[in-house]
């Protein structure tokens, strides 16, 4: 009896202590304030209002935008609308959600669709078009896209030959992160071909270190970073035409060329001499979170990490990301030819009605003026494939490098294939099979054959 009473009292004490600690946390935080601001104040930027006058008087209209881009990347978006709002008097309401893909479909089905959504998967766009929810882009938007974007981008915003959604932001995935200072100390050169990269890996391995670190963990999306590896290499070994056929399932998923590509990836990711620097054996790739997988570069237990340009947000605050700083990235080298193909992703602006205000805003978003305004109000981590974008306006050197890749007329661009494949594959079987490939050393041929047999028949 006494014991029980004492027990209860100490639980209450522990609970009270917890509350007190948390409250102390709130109180102390209040003194220092915070919140970052963009590089430039958006209302100081000039915008030529003429292109939007043809949409008539829009004063007092509102346009709602629904996106998957959340805090802290959302504020530069909101800021970048200010010049347009000042021109036209339209009010833009921004809303971002990490549950965007699921919630957008719920809203469209219940008749509560936003005016505009930024859709990151062409596959989702195609579904919404098939449900008659999305309206085709107005001709002003199409003119902008024809003039300022590579044709492949326009294709990804089109469904059955009809152009619906203009591209917006972009991210380049074909990057290898490395530490310029560590490379300089050890006397390593940045490789410009695949063979040089393997030679460098051998050289690092002989010195006793592990050259590569990787991680494909991402909650219930575990495996996607491995799909990027595969896609990048298919683009390099088999070429863009085979890549397109593969993504569209015009050739079998386990075509010999794809097997060869995955074996090439395995030459790095499944080579016990090469991986997994600072994290463990080959199997640890499957269990390491992708967000943390590159961090061993910082303490020198790993030298190279292939991940998209957006990985720059994952380096701890205070890391010097520049060509001769702590961390930088080089383009994943080509296997054949001189120019490395670029694998990437991006968002597309789909409109759910053809109100003049919506169309005016779509036009603004597809214009080079918007891209430049957005670049000036953004911090690091944003880039667009709009060729009217002045690279100098981008804040971070890695974004500038990505923009140069997008604007290089010789570089082949292809959209992330797993976002184009049916969901059962691109966000299902391919993830799990590639995870098995690394975690249980499943054979390459078997992995690809199993994905092939999972492909939906219709």
Partner 1 sequence: MTTTTPVMAPVPPDERRLTRTERRAVAAKNKLSSPAASIIALVIAALWTVPTLGLLITSFRPELDIRRSGWWTALSDPQFTLDNYNEVLYGGATNFATLFVNSLVITLPAVVIPISLALLAAYAFAWIKFPGRNLLFVAVFALQVVPIQVTLIPLLSLYVDAGLAGSFWTIWLSHSIFALPLAIFLLHNFMKEIPASLIEAARMDGAGHVKIFFQVLLPLLTPAIAAFGVFQFLWVWNDLLVALTFAGGAPDVVPLTVRVAELAGTRGSDWYLLAAGAFVSIVLPLVVFLSLQRYFVRGLLAGSVKG
Indicate the residue among 122 and 345 with the shorter CB distance to partner 1.
Answer: 345
Instruction: Tell the residue number behind the tokens 């380096």, with chain if given.
Output: 315
Per the CB < 8 A criterion, the answer to whether 387 and 149 are in contact is yes
Q: How far apart are CA 440 and CA 424, in angstroms?
A: 22
- For the bound state, the minimum distance from the C-beta of residue 372 to partner 1, rounded and expressed in Å, comes to 22
Query: How far is C-alpha 253 from the chain's CA centre?
Result: 24
- What the block records as the tokens of 239 is 């070429």
Across 213-336, the runs of DSSP E, i.e. the strands, are 304-306, 328-331
Indicate the residue among 112 and 458 with the shorter CB distance to partner 1.
Answer: 112
- For the bound state, the minimum distance from the C-beta of residue 262 to partner 1, rounded and expressed in Å, comes to 25
Indicate the residue among 27 and 161 with the shorter CB distance to partner 1.
Answer: 27
By the criterion CB under 8 A, which residues form the site for partner 1? 1, 3-4, 7, 11-12, 14-16, 18-19, 21-23, 25-26, 28-30, 32-35, 64, 66, 68-75, 78, 93-99, 103, 106-107, 109-112, 114, 218-219, 291-292, 295, 310, 313-314, 316-317
Per the CB < 8 A criterion, the answer to whether 340 and 109 are in contact is no
- Short-list 87, 73, 90, CA closest to 45: 87
- For the bound state, the minimum distance from the C-beta of residue 20 to partner 1, rounded and expressed in Å, comes to 11
Beta partners for residue 94, in sequence order: 65
Q: How far apart are CA 200 and CA 18, in angstroms?
A: 52
- For the bound state, the minimum distance from the C-beta of residue 138 to partner 1, rounded and expressed in Å, comes to 23
- For the bound state, the minimum distance from the C-beta of residue 402 to partner 1, rounded and expressed in Å, comes to 15
Indicate the residue among 29 and 325 with the shorter CB distance to partner 1.
Answer: 29
Q: To 5 degrees, how large is the angle CA 114–CA 156–CA 47?
A: 60
Q: How far apart are CA 7 and CA 5, in angstroms?
A: 5
Indicate the residue among 83 and 294 with the shorter CB distance to partner 1.
Answer: 294
Indicate the residue among 110 and 458 with the shorter CB distance to partner 1.
Answer: 110
Indicate the residue among 114 and 138 with the shorter CB distance to partner 1.
Answer: 114
Q: How far apart are CA 406 and CA 228, in angstroms?
A: 17
Q: How far apart are CA 322 and CA 177, in angstroms?
A: 11
Per the CB < 8 A criterion, the answer to whether 49 and 87 are in contact is yes
What is the torsional sign of CA 121, 127, 128, 129?
positive
Indicate the residue among 21 and 50 with the shorter CB distance to partner 1.
Answer: 21
Per the CB < 8 A criterion, the answer to whether 373 and 42 are in contact is yes
- For the bound state, the minimum distance from the C-beta of residue 291 to partner 1, rounded and expressed in Å, comes to 6
- For the bound state, the minimum distance from the C-beta of residue 312 to partner 1, rounded and expressed in Å, comes to 9
- For the bound state, the minimum distance from the C-beta of residue 290 to partner 1, rounded and expressed in Å, comes to 8
- For the bound state, the minimum distance from the C-beta of residue 411 to partner 1, rounded and expressed in Å, comes to 24
Indicate the residue among 131 and 143 with the shorter CB distance to partner 1.
Answer: 131
Instruction: Tell the residue number behind the tokens 């990269």, with chain if given.
Output: 197
């Amino acid at each position: 009896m006494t014991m029980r009473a004492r027990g209860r009292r100490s639980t209450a004490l522990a609970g009270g202590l917890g509350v007190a600690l948390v409250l102390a946390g709130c109180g102390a935080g209040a003194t220092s304030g915070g919140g970052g601001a963009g590089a430039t104040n958006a209302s100081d930027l000039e915008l030529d209002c003429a292109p939007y006058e043809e949409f008539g008087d829009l004063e007092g209209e509102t346009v709602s935008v629904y996106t998957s881009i959340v805090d802290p990347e959302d504020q530069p978006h909101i800021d970048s609308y200010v010049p347009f709002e000042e021109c036209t008097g339209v009010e833009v309401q921004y809303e971002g959600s990490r549950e965007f893909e699921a919630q957008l479909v719920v809203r469209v089905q219940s008749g509560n669709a936003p005016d505009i959504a930024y859709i990151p998967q062409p596959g989702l766009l195609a579904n919404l078009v098939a449900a008659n929810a999305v309206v085709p882009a107005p001709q002003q938007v199409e003119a902008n896209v024809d003039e300022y974007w590579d044709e492949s981008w326009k294709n990804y915003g089109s469904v059955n030959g009809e152009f619906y959604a203009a591209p917006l932001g972009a991210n380049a995935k074909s990057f290898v992160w490395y530490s310029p200072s560590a490379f300089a100390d050890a006397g390593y050169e940045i490789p410009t071909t695949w063979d040089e990269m393997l030679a460098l890996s051998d050289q690092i391995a002989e010195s006793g270190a592990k050259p590569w670190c990787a991680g494909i963990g991402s909650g219930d999306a575990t495996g996607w970073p491995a799909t990027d590896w595969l896609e990048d290499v298919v683009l390099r070994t088999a070429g863009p035409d085979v890549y397109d056929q593969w993504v569209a399932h015009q050739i079998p998923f386990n075509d010999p060329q794809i097997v060869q590509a995955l074996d090439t990836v395995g030459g790095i990711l499944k080579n016990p001499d090469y991986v997994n620097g600072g994290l463990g054996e080959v199997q640890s790739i499957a269990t390491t979170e992708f967000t943390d997988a590159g961090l061993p570069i910082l303490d020198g237990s790993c030298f190279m990490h292939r991940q998209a340009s957006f990985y720059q947000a994952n380096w701890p605050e205070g890391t010097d990301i520049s060509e001769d700083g702590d961390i930088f990235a080089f383009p994943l080298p080509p296997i054949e030819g001189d120019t490395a193909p670029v694998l990437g992703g991006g968002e597309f602006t789909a409109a759910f009605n053809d109100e003049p205000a919506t169309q005016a805003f779509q036009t603004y978003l597809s214009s080079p003026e918007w891209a430049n305004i957005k670049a000036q109000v953004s911090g690091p981590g944003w880039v667009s494939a709009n060729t009217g974008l002045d690279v100098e306006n981008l804040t971070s050197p890695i974004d500038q490098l990505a923009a140069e890749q997008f604007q290089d007329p010789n570089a082949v661009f292809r959209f992330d294939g797993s976002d184009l494949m049916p969901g059962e594959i691109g966000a299902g079987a391919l993830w799990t099979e590639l995870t098995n490939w690394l975690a249980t050393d499943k054979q390459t041929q078997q992995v690809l054959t199993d994905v092939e047999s999972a492909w939906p028949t219709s």
